[in-house]
Amino acid sequence: MNDTTSSNSADDKQESLISRFIAATEIDPRLLGMLGALALIWFGFHFYGEIFNNFGAFLTPRNLWNLSVQTSSIGIMATGMVLVIVTRNIDLSVGSMIGVIAMAMGLLQVEYLPQFVGLGHWSIWMIAVVFGLVFGTLIGALHGWLIAYREIPAFIVTLGGLMVWRGMAFLSGGGRTISPVDPTFALLGGGPYGAVGATTSWIIGIIACFGVAYIIYSGRQSRITHNFNLRPMWAEIMLALVGCATILGSVILVNSYPWPKGIVRQYGARIGQDLEGTFISHGFAIPVLILAAVGIGMTILMTRTRFGRYVFAIGGNPEAASLAGIDTKWVTMKVFALMGMLTAIASVIASARLNSATNALGILDELYVIAAAVIGGTSLAGGVGKIYGAILGALVMQSLQSGMVLIGFDSAIQRIVVGMVLVFAVYLDIVYNKRVKK
């Protein structure tokens, strides 16, 4: 009896310590859950490779660098999907939009613009990117207009868009692969030349560390100004140190992945130097920096602007938001227009990474994007969602896919696993919401 009582008391004490730690740091428990799942996936695939394939290929600088690039396009779209789902809508068309936008940009670069400005002109990639962003925004605005002003359910509008835009992607290029894209445009997809190198990566990392410290300091000062409860100083310091350590660890990781020997040899021949055996770091890939910029921008939009407050108000209670004077239709249309623009950015990265545009680009990406948002804590009931959670969710989904490819799972098994993960994530969201309401 005494042993049982002592055991229960120890468990209660441990649970109390964990609860107090979470309360003091104000860390979302779902964030800890995602980080735990991510660690389980990474180490699981790595040790599986070591045991059954005699090599652990997952936790290597090369694979993790490629994983960060692969996550970029899904992560960018997932940040927009957060807003869509928060407003109690859904967008099933993003994968097809990637295809049609990529084909439009590819045709511009390969067939149309060279006739007017000349082959290889410096402006080709800029015009293509701007056109893609405008095109994607217009498609998203069209979806939003049909949903908000014509009152057609988002599921139907975007399901129709999934089929229409995929068909248009095929018709626009006649089923052809459009390649190669402009060389400067291709840099936006990553690769040895599409990365910023070791020095710039360290500069970015140091600036980011100062940014983390400033955010924590300014947040504390704001709480003091408004007489809000303060986090303990140890919690503030710990969060700053963990954030900075994560950033600097990422810099060390990307800088430890060298250019392939063949690329080094070609680069040396181009600049007239013998670079045989020289270690040249990749550094951060351009798509990863774009993802980081989008994540920061979307976080500011959602937490620091009137538009963000309107989005959460509409998701929490559309009728009350409308009675409060919020133009819910106009906000909904802007949410879908923003989703279209973010999809265009993802399309730029995806087509640049392939150095070509195909009508099949983006197939099933809508499932990964929705799964990333839901895994990241966005509630399908509306009103709840976090940008950083969606990006982490995208990393989890891409880690699963990358790991299954490395250990030799075929595409059918990959789809089964993704489907199961999506259902499980929604179930966890339902369970979590029930516990919160209690």
**352-401, pLDDT tens digit by residue?**
999 999 989 999 899 899 989 998 989 888 898 999 999 999 999 999 98
Q: What is the pLDDT of residue 29?
A: 81
Between these two residues, 27 and 313, which has the higher pLDDT value? 313
- pLDDT tens-digit map of 138-164: 999 999 999 999 999 999 999 999 999
Least confident piece of the model among 197-206, 242-251, 293-302, 410-419: 410-419
Q: Is the pLDDT of residue 5 over 60?
A: no
Of 365, 329, 395, which is closest to residue 87 (Cα–Cα)?
329
Residue of 345, 380, 393 lying closest to 73 (CA atoms): 345
pTM of the complete model: 0.94
- Better pLDDT: 274 or 291: 291
pLDDT value for 145:
98
Which among 21-30, 265-274, 383-392, 407-416 has the top mean pLDDT?
Answer: 383-392
Q: What is the pLDDT of residues 176-196, one digit of tens each?
A: 999 999 999 999 999 889 999
State residue 409's pLDDT score: 81
Which of 139-153, 220-234, 287-301, 402-416 has the least mean pLDDT? 402-416
Give the residue, 429 or 269, on which the prediction is more confident. 269
Task: Supply the mean pLDDT for the chain.
Answer: 91
The Cα–Cα gap between 428 and 375 comes to 9
Residue 12 pLDDT level (bands cut at 50, 70, 90): low
Q: In the predicted model, is pLDDT for residue 257 greater than 70?
A: yes
- Model pLDDT, residue 438: 62
| Burial annotation 14-46 (CB, 10 A radius, 16+ → b, else e) | eeeeeeeeeeebeeeebbeebeebbeebbeebb
Confidence at residue 426, expressed as pLDDT on a 0 to 100 scale: 77
pLDDT of residue 32: 84
- Kindly state the percentage of the chain with pLDDT values over 70: 95
Which pLDDT band holds residue 281 (cuts at 50, 70, 90)? very high
Are 196 and 286 in contact, with CB atoms under 8 Å apart? yes
Residue reference for tokens 């995208």? 394
The whole-number pLDDT of residue 56 equals 65
pLDDT at residue 412 is higher than 90: no
Q: What is the pLDDT at residue 248?
A: 97
> Residue 30: its pLDDT value, please?
80
Q: Are 166 and 94 in contact (CB under 8 A)?
A: no
Domains and CATH numbers, the chain: 28-195+285-437 (1.10.3470), 196-284 (no CATH)
Of 4, 22, 13, residue with least CA distance to 232: 22
pLDDT at 210: 97
